[in-house]
Chains A and B, each alone.
Chain A
Amino acid sequence: MLETIKNKNLSQSFKKLVVSRFFALVILIFSFSFGGFSQEVDIAKGKSLFNANCAACHKLNKNLIGPALAGVSAKYEKEWLYSWIKNSNAMIKSGDERAVAIWEEWNKAAMNAFPQLTNMDIDNILAYTDYVPEPVAVAASTVVTSQAPTAGSVSTDIILVVLVIILCVLVSMLFLVNKTLKAIANKNGIEFEKSKPLFKVPIWKLFIKNQFLVFCSVVFFLLSSAYFAYGWMMQIGIDQGYMPVQPIHYSHKIHSGANQIDCQYCHSSARSSKHSGIPSLNVCMNCHENIAEYNGEEDLEKGYTKDFYTNEIKKLYKAVGWDEQSRTYTGDTEPVKWVRIHNLPDFVYFNHSQHVNVAGIDCKECHGPIEEMEIVYQHSSLTMGWCISCHRESDVKVKNNEYYTKIHEELSKKYGVEKLTVAQMGGLECGKCHY
């Protein structure tokens, strides 16, 4: 009886599901087929259009090259906006009062014409600019994010507790078995030998008496302490892990990690020069003319809030002399005094282009996981041993480099190898790096 009811319920719910799916499908098909004609706007489409066409000059809530666009549809009627966006210059020339007013307000900067946008596209964009996201229920989201891990840890804890209990039970069972066995043995009249103390004299006295042992251990002690002292002293002057505080908190994690900017976009001279080069501030401004505030992820624990990052961008503006309001360079600059992290001694010659351009080594091989470094630190030891071990192991990259063609062929024949290492090429000679 119970089972049939259950079955019935199940079949009913199945039916419901099928029906509802069907309806959903129908709605979906309808929405697809009539979507183009309907007056319903698509905010997501608007966003992508905005990013593709408008974002270079406009932001939603902030003046950039052009005015902030949030709520722009409230200020102007749609028809006016259509013609403005499609060809603003024509409007200005025709003498439209409001168009001329905008043009003059923005230093007579011409806005690009977008004749390719349909009215629908523009509607979408405007919908995006008007869109005010509903306040996110912060509490709910935290619950959601925190629940999953707690659930996971509870289950493992339970397993652990169970295991511990089982273990305790086993131990106590063994103890009991032992006890009963002894009792049985006693009853059977078997006597146990009493265990004697192992040594009559204390062990340390014996040790002192054995002079050979003392001698050996002293030698051992001295040698091992010398070993550790040597190891410690060899650390002097090695700044692996050196992580100085920089005048501007520049996060490689954001630039190289989150934004995937190529290392050599900023450190461009690494391709051609011995220095990788700290980018001059005009390189920063290539992007930061338009990126005045930080909107990415935060690390609240360490205090890296959005405001914090935005404030660092302001430091850049101050250094380069950029006036955010007027969007002009004041000429009042203040070079940034970065703290150098990788300090090779004067008597070592190192050339980035040899390694980056000729050998094609990835920056990370020496500089480590830069894209994860919030604050950059010295990843490698930069000792001579470190250099040399790499020179011994690495093959020379000879492909497509005519310089190596002849010498590689001859040398590899001489050494009887297929591929030459840097060392075989002469990369261990003193004078190659010390002059």
Chain B
Amino acid sequence: MNQEKKYWKSEIELKPNSAIDQLRNNEFTEKLPVDENIFTNDSINNTQTDRRDFLKYLGFSTTAAVLASCEGPVHKSVPYVVQPDRIIPGIANYYATTLYDGYDSANVLVKTREGRPIKIENNKLSSYNGYANARLNASILGLYDSGRVQGPTINQQDVSWDNFSNNIKAQLSSLKSLDQPVVLLTSTINSPTSKKIISEFINKYPNIEHIEYDSISESSTLDAHELMYGLRALPYYDFQNAKCIVSIGADFLGDWQGSNYDHDYVKGRIPNKNNGKASMSKHIQIESNMSITGSNADLRVPLSLSDQKLFLAHLYKKISGDSNSIQSISDDLLKKVNYAAEHLLSNSSKSVVVCGLDDLSAQIITNRINDLLSSSVKSKTKVSLVRNGSDSKVNSLLNRIKKGDIKGLIMSGVNPCYTLSNSKDFTEALKKLNFSVTFSMKIDETAINSSHVAAIPHQLESWGDFEFINGEYSLTQPTIKPLFDTKQLEDCLLSWSESQSSFYDKIRDNWKNNILDSPQKWNSSLHDGVYSSTSTINLNYNNLQYSTYLSQLVSINNDGYDLIMYSKIGMGDGQQANNPWLQEFPDPLTRVSWDNYLTVSKFDAEKIGLKNYNESNGALNSNYALIKINETELKVPVIIQPGQAKGTVGLSFGYGREIGIKDEMKTGVNAFKLYKEFSKSQKVTLSSVYEIHEFACVQLHNTLMGRGDIIKETTLDIFNTKDKEYWNPIPKVSKNHIETPVNSNEVDMWTEFDRSIGHHFNLSIDLNACTGCGACVIACHAENNVPVVGKEEVRKSRDMHWLRIDRYYSSEDNFSSDIEKKENISGLGESLSIFGEMEEPSDNPQVVFQPVMCQHCNHAPCETVCPVAASSHGRQGQNHMAYNRCVGTRYCANNCPYKVRRFNWFLYNNNDEFDFHMNDDLGKMVLNPDVVVRSRGVMEKCSFCIQGTQSVILKAKNEGREVEKNEFNNVVACSAACSTGALQFGDINNKESEVYKRKQDDRVYHLLEYVGTKPNVFYHTKVRNIDKNKSI
């Protein structure tokens, strides 16, 4: 409409005037004195632009630029033409949906603002799968990845979907008429509707074969289950009933079998003195690498792979009473086997053994033990369907392509050119095919080698349905209109099968007809995102020759090192390698970001000559190890990992991506190259390479040095029998030579402010419940627009995480021995030597995770030193940080005893030096509009999600009601994301609230309480289920 309005520059224009016309048509009526080639000396000498002209131009342009910059910016505001009913600008909408990328799965709520998804939250209506891990929390950034494929291509040429489909259809039809096989290679399909669509597609083209392929395979578990129970699925464990858990190499709090078990596991791990005596489940972990599951265990036994198998075999013998003789084990280990067996048997049906070894016999023996225990933890009615890949089929696929048996390949949700150990062969083989189609969001390793690339939408733009656990259905619905010209696999298959309906139609019809007990429930199911049907499965209990499997299990090769590959909490199988949040996410155990590495025990490191050392500024460096399996070599940086079993090394998947990701994200090495025969354990030889690798590690000190006031720990025994004063005393300070508790008013420098009126926010952190999974860290990133700073800056300790999860190792066998050791120091000389020793973690240390964010001290040291009062305290207990007031002196950060304040050294948004999501228009769409994006030179820190607490209060005011008891917990990013309930936020002035109840607990303590800062964050003493009397 603007065009209709005519603007005149002067009144002369109103009259017809030739000069004006001429000017309008030709801005410079005379020929401009610009020479064609100014760089030759001749032309400069002969040029008509003399010095004076040059100065004139310079002056003019400078003035113009200055004048232009004086003008204030004009902000445009563009409303909808037709505003959708449900969108009110400024108010978030939530959609229940399901995320599944072939590796991770969860039922989630997606928060959208003005139609764009900005955050993933948990769907509490889901009874089995309602918690998103760190990767799924971060997956929202994948939607706004500027490197996404924006439309279909054939041989790297952009085409329309019609052309694309016609081309494929023609190929498929011609191959069909010749009866030449085509393979559809997908990640595990656990969608009931997709399965139907694929079978219809195969009906239409009978020459097509469907093969499922998991990048990190669980084939042995699936095979074992099929053999024993006649159903190819994974066992489902109900950990909340468990009284005793023995895990052999299963990282079930991490990534084991696509698990989501931490929520249930923690339910049994919190000691509540309801009937006077608290009880906890017993958790024994046998493993090689240090995992977060091992860190949470009561007893962790680091063992090499062969010893793990022997342990399992002997455990089986103990429990079954099998009399076959097998290879013997050391007395020490036998003691541990007996200890485990004793606990398993005494808890019988409430106990369970889980096993993470890629070994059919190990899985069969594990299942057998559980059956013998008649374990109620291993579900008899539920199985997990999240993995269904078959190693043998994938292996034969490659051979068949090589032979030329297969003419076409359609791939979706897989990246075999990256995840196969023999990916080079596969890449070569792809070229032999008549056509290869890859459904992908990125031009990744496989897509670049395929003839056809089909651009697919992100999960948040897609429809879908899933059955992760039998009978538990869930739905995926789009939360945004597709950003690019994309199509889902199912829609393409439907169109290639000449079907008129869309994937959505198919899902709806399938649910109405086959899944829901009444079609009327469709809308409510879509609203909830989940639907539980009453259908159960019946497992057959086949009788197998267990002694054969037992003997297979103990036939062991003992040469060389065991390489145990695992997936890192931050990276999984590497699909999201281009995600800056995940790259900068510090690993819960090593605290290293932006890398993967070989974890080595200290013993082996010294033997091979592998080193870790710190530079003068603290940054961590290492040399490299050369891993060799036959001809395959891989040069990997090294981290010396306390708790790593001797004779074993660990390496994580997911790194070393080369194609389809930004240069900054091309980190680490590709462990899939060593993933031979789909076995996560390999025999390798190691040697050291003297090249320096630079790590970005966020925690430089690993032990607590016996400081029990940071982490308070006790055993269940002491917890049950002794007074609080014994295991959780309040620190005392001396006043007039009288020991006075630090929380009494007499020793306080400040006069206490009355906070009994209104809201008073507190955050409770239960160290027993925190598994260290880090979902809160990513959720905090997403909620608070925390910038990513890159590897170099992290090395300089300039990471911006508002919430960090500190990890501490004990330097003795456990933390209480550390304290004892420290207490018994006498004299300066001894203190120097002993403190030196205490800096070194033990070979098998106790591990503890401690989330630390701004403690919102009621007597905050940061507030008193700010020269401009940018940091101040609110009545509701929050320590406010006014960014616009901050001048960047950083006094506050220096005065903070908890080191939680973060300084913006650079303008991280709109800065090409930091080419992460905040630097491109698409990536910025994820920013939370309720939180300001901080500028350079200001301090920032955790705000207790004040935008959330304020929104809850405002909502209550608008509705004219009081705030509900636990309403605040859902708006604080970390506590809302916590799957185990370790973090609980709320108003302690509301006596009904969960956080108030938690504050009354005996286990409560404050971090560095003796400083007298009176924080509004409180921790719960960690209680471990260790019996001190028995030495094991």
Contacts and interface: CB of A to CB of B under 8 A. Distances in A.
Interface string B69-84: 0001011111111110
Of the four ranges (under 10, 10 to 19, 20 to 34, 35 or more), the interface on chain B belongs to 35 or more
Contacts of B875: 426, 429
Given A315-B4, A429-B874, A435-B932, A277 B79 contact: yes
Interface string B737-770: 0000000000000000010011000000000000
B81 A338 contact: no
Given A278-B79, A315-B1, A353-B954, A272 B884 contact: no
A77 interface: no
Nearest to B82: A282
A338 B881 CA distance: 34
A202 B123 CA distance: 90
Contacts of B90: 269, 273-275, 277
Nearest to A431: B880
A282 B81 contact: yes
- Most A C-beta atoms less than 10 A away, residue of B90, B754, B931, B956: B90
B148 to A, nearest CB: 25
A45 B60 CA distance: 71
B79 A338 contact: yes
Interface SS of chain B: helix, strand, loop or mixed?
Answer: loop
Interface string B860-898: 000000000010101110101111110000000000000
A79 B711 CA distance: 98
A242 to B, nearest CB: 8
Interface in A309-364: 311, 315, 318-321, 333-340, 343, 345-349, 351, 353-354, 357-358
B279 interface: no
Interface in A49-67: none
Contacts of A410: 757-758
Given A272-B91, A401-B957, A430 B76 contact: no
Interface in B36-68: none
B882 A434 contact: yes
B11 interface: no
A345 B884 contact: yes
Nearest to A318: B1
B962 interface: yes
A302 to B, nearest CB: 16
A281 to B, nearest CB: 5
Interface in A280-303: 280-283
A401 B74 CA distance: 40
Contacts of B77: 278, 337-340
A269 B80 CA distance: 13
Contact of A431 (B80, B757, B946, B957): B946
A335 B83 CA distance: 11
Nearest to A279: B79
Given A273-B88, A277-B88, A278-B77, A400 B960 contact: yes
Nearest to B931: A435
Interface in B961-975: 961-963
A244 interface: yes
Interface residues of A, number: 60
A402 to B, nearest CB: 5
Contact of B79 (A272, A280, A432): A280
Contacts, number: 159
- Most B C-beta atoms less than 10 A away, residue of A269, A282, A431: A431
B80 A335 contact: yes
A200 interface: no
Given A426-B758, A435-B946, A339 B75 contact: yes
A338 to B, nearest CB: 5
B947 interface: yes
A414 to B, nearest CB: 6
Contacts of B547: none
B930 A434 contact: no
A408 to B, nearest CB: 10
B885 to A, nearest CB: 7
B933 interface: yes
A145 to B, nearest CB: 32
Contacts of B931: 435
Nearest to A345: B884
Given A338-B76, A351-B954, A269 B89 contact: yes
Contact of B757 (A272, A281, A401, A414): A414
Given A247-B2, A403-B962, A403-B963, A343 B75 contact: yes
A354 B933 contact: no
A282 B79 CA distance: 10
B320 interface: no
A93 interface: no
Contact of A319 (B75, B81, B883, B950): B81
A333 B885 CA distance: 43
Contacts of A401: 957, 960
B958 interface: yes
A269 B958 CA distance: 13
A281 B943 CA distance: 38
- Most B C-beta atoms less than 10 A away, residue of A247, A248, A351, A403: A403
Interface in B928-957: 930-933, 943, 946-947, 950, 953-954, 956-957
Given A272-B88, A411-B757, A431-B880, A358 B75 contact: no
A407 interface: yes
Interface in B1-16: 1-2, 4
Nearest to A413: B757
Contacts of B89: 269, 273, 275, 277
Contact of A354 (B72, B81, B954, B961): B954
Contacts of B960: 400-403
Contacts of B88: 269, 272-273, 277
Contacts of B882: 347, 430-431, 434
Contacts of A346: 932-933
B962 A429 contact: no
Interface in A72-111: none
A280 B1 contact: no
A335 B79 contact: yes
A275 B92 CA distance: 12
A42 interface: no
A282 B85 CA distance: 11
Given A402-B960, A429-B872, A239 B80 contact: no
Interface string B1-33: 110100000000000000000000000000000
B288 to A, nearest CB: 46
B82 A354 contact: no
A320 B82 CA distance: 8
A358 B953 CA distance: 11
Contacts of B754: 414
Contacts of A402: 960-962
B228 to A, nearest CB: 56
A347 B76 contact: no
Contacts of B81: 280-282, 319-321, 333, 335
A414 B954 CA distance: 23
B866 to A, nearest CB: 11
Contact of A280 (B74, B82, B957): B82
Contacts of B932: 346-347, 434-435
A304 B758 CA distance: 54
A430 B514 CA distance: 56
- Most A C-beta atoms less than 10 A away, residue of B881, B931, B933, B950: B950
Q: Which are the 9 A-B pairs with shortest beta-carbon distances?
A: A431-B880, A273-B90, A280-B83, A340-B75, A280-B80, A315-B1, A275-B90, A278-B79, A430-B882
Given A247-B1, A432-B950, 9 more contacts: A273-B90, A275-B89, A280-B82, A339-B77, A358-B958, A400-B960, A407-B757, A407-B758, A429-B880
23 contacts: A269-B89, A280-B79, A280-B81, A281-B79, A281-B81, A283-B83, A321-B81, A334-B1, A338-B76, A340-B75, A343-B75, A349-B950, A358-B954, A402-B961, A403-B960, A404-B957, A411-B757, A426-B758, A426-B874, A430-B885, A431-B874, A432-B874, A435-B931
